[in-house]
Structure 1
Amino acid sequence: MLRRCAQRSSVSPLHSVWMSSHLGITAQQQARNYSSHHQPHHPLPKTFGVVGAGQMGGGIALVAAMNAKIPSVRVHDVSAQSIEKCKKLIQTLLDKYVQKGTLTAEERQVILSERLSFSSGTDLSKLALGCEFIVEAATEQTELKLGLFKDLSQMVHSNNSAETSKTILATNTSSISITKIASQTLDPSTVIGMHFMNPVPVMTLVEIIRGLQTSDETYERTTQLAHAMHKTCTLSIKDSPGFIANRILMPYINEAVNVLHEGIATVEDIDKTMKLGTNVPMGPLTLADFIGLDTCLAIMRVLYTEFADSKYRPSPLLVKMVEAGWLGKKTGRGFYKY
């Protein structure tokens, strides 16, 4: 049984005071955490959009259509080639589910022919028109995301009325400030972080990140949608660079790259040491290849810029490998060859 997205154990008054003084958690934030036990029910969106048809975007669209059973899931990308690759990825995954018996052939056909739709180009209006919930899953570039949210906000603003729920604009960013992204929109209360893990159909975790102005309703609707997608959520109480996962994970990967860069150990021995020594399924360099070295570098640069702390400085080797186009599994070469 899935754990509630924001489920928290009871907190004593003394512990609340400790959190306030030592962690900087305000009374308002504590109240938000407590109220999540008693969230009002919100209907799931009937229309759901994904901007970005890469591996993450395709996975998000799939769990929205297959698990949450949203009637209309729209996927958009500037590249027609990316859209075609996304279609093939989704079809391949659905075929595997049918072969395993976890999905019927009839359900597969409904997902492909009735629930999913695709579009490409620079015009987002077809995706945004009448859409109740949009997730941005574009490349981890700050200016790109800021521009997308500015455009999307203007498009969906005309859709919203007093009689309908406001369109939620969620970002799958893995490190960029939600408040900063929301600052480009007409209604920052509707913006939230919804950081899925890759591969989305397999990984159950979603990080939920509230911006400074994110409303309770936006948070509630987002967590309830995540439940419907069969996801377990964690909440970042503060909108801090890297949130929870990448604040911890990326410096770990970056330090592994530094160990390689300094000639302390080989790729294989670095991965073997961490895999067997900490009982994780894969070592840090293998994991970096699967994530994408360009993504790892982009996140490290955000952390280094925001915190101005040398411990977040990207490894010189990581920078060189990205410059060489060795981005990991997706390009056939990273720390390993594929």
Structure 2
Amino acid sequence: MTMDIQTAGVVGAGVMGVGVAQNLAQCGMDVVLVDIAEAVLERARIEIGNNVRFQGFFAKEKNGPTPEEVLGRITFTIEPEKLADVDYLVENVVEKWPVKEEVYRRIDAICKPSCVFAANTSAISITRIASVTRRPDRVIGMHFMNPVPMKPLVEVIRGFHTSEETIEFSKFFLKKMGKSCVVVNDSPGFVSNRVLMLTVNEAVFLVQEGVAKAEEVDRIFKSCFGHKMGPLETADLIGLDTILYSLDVLYESFNDSKFRPCPLLKKMVDAGLHGRKNGRGFYNYPVL
């Protein structure tokens, strides 16, 4: 496997896809960002420009790329066929297996055989994802943290068939993004979300039961344990809908009642309270 990446593909222009595309372009790579809706891509374009401008304003060194330079490296498109020549692809679609399955079947038919697929998933099995492709040895998990450009470490997941070449190539890819990684074995939720989702879910139960308010729960974790964010602030950042989908996957995968989603979490998602992404979760946020 040649250690060379000319162009990277990013599928899904939601919160994580935007972060990955921005990070790649800021590090000098050409990017093809694909989504199914022009409106989503336009929001992504605006958000990336604003993010780069904001980072530049607060940066100690002012010689980073301009918003125009970063956006100039990104092709925004609703045509997945433009992924045909990418060398490395990061998938960021919703945490629902039927959607993931359809995406991988389609990109597997489009992308060149040498292209590596990295699933930026919170909980879905990398081995299961690889099973619907003709390149299971070139499928790997790559769990980025939000906000992507600001987080230096990535949780990388080795599927059953993932080759050592793919792992080394993925480390090279992440190094180009300015990141390091920890490689773990495939298991639903991996390390981070198998622990985090339980913590968040239990925190929601505390609010539901009236034991404490959301801000009180978060204050305890920040003041007592030195966490930068409490579990419910973290849930809002990730997206309450994503938290719920991840818990559903963990519950289905392990058949263990400890992963049952809290009814309050379900109610909030049904009510459209998804956190920072749409302005309201356990806290209220300005919507840009």
Given the two structures, how large is their TM-score scaled by the length of structure 1?
0.80
Could you tell me how far apart the structure 2 residues matched to 1:59 and 1:102 are?
21
Match of 1:302 in 2: 249
Q: 1:56 to 1:103 in 2, by over 3 A?
A: farther
Unaligned runs of 5+ in 1: 1-40, 161-165
Match of 1:57 in 2: 17
Answer yes or no: is 1:323 the counterpart of 2:282: no
Report the CA distance between 1:129 and its aligned residue: 1.4
Q: Say if 2:15 and 2:277, in contact at 8 Å, map to a contact too.
A: no
Q: Say if 2:9 and 2:32, in contact at 8 Å, map to a contact too.
A: yes
Q: Say if 1:97 and 1:103, in contact at 8 Å, map to a contact too.
A: no
Which aligned pairs between 1:1-338 and structure 2 lie closer than 5 A? Answer: 42-67=2-27, 69-70=28-29, 72-99=30-57, 100=59, 102-104=61-63, 108-113=67-72, 115-120=73-78, 123-126=79-82, 128-156=83-111, 159-160=112-113, 166-236=114-184, 238-338=185-285
- Per-residue CA deviation, residues 38-75 of structure 1 (Å, 9 max, x unaligned), is xxx952310110001112111111111212x22x2110
Letter in 2 for 1:137: N
- Per-residue CA deviation, residues 126-160 of structure 1 (Å, 9 max, x unaligned), is 2x21111111011111111111111111112xx34
* Secondary structure of the structure 2 residue equivalent to 1:331: coil
Unaligned runs of 5+ in 2: none
Report the CA distance between 1:108 and its aligned residue: 4.5
* Secondary structure of the structure 2 residue equivalent to 1:94: helix
Q: How many residues align?
A: 284
Report the CA distance between 1:337 and its aligned residue: 2.0
* Secondary structure of the structure 2 residue equivalent to 1:233: strand
Larger Rg: 1
- Per-residue CA deviation, residues 83-115 of structure 1 (Å, 9 max, x unaligned), is 0111111111222343336453765443322x2
* Secondary structure of the structure 1 residue equivalent to 2:183: strand
CA RMSD, 1 decimal: 1.6
Could you tell me how far apart the structure 2 residues matched to 1:333 and 1:176 are?
26
Q: Say if 2:53 and 2:66, in contact at 8 Å, map to a contact too.
A: no
- Per-residue CA deviation, residues 9-34 of structure 1 (Å, 9 max, x unaligned), is xxxxxxxxxxxxxxxxxxxxxxxxxx
Q: Say if 1:42 and 1:224, in contact at 8 Å, map to a contact too.
A: no
* Secondary structure of the structure 2 residue equivalent to 1:60: helix
Q: 1:215 to 1:105 in 2, by over 3 A?
A: closer
Could you tell me how far apart the structure 1 residues matched to 2:231 and 2:238 are?
10
Could you tell me how far apart the structure 2 residues matched to 1:106 and 1:78 are?
28
Percent identity between the two aligned chains = 42
* Secondary structure of the structure 2 residue equivalent to 1:50: strand
Could you tell me how far apart the structure 2 residues matched to 1:271 and 1:325 are?
22
Q: 1:322 to 1:108 in 2, by over 3 A?
A: closer
Q: 1:106 to 1:245 in 2, by over 3 A?
A: closer
Q: Say if 1:192 and 1:214, in contact at 8 Å, map to a contact too.
A: yes
Q: 1:267 to 1:106 in 2, by over 3 A?
A: closer
* Secondary structure of the structure 2 residue equivalent to 1:329: coil
* Secondary structure of the structure 1 residue equivalent to 2:277: helix
Could you tell me how far apart the structure 1 residues matched to 2:4 and 2:15 are?
24
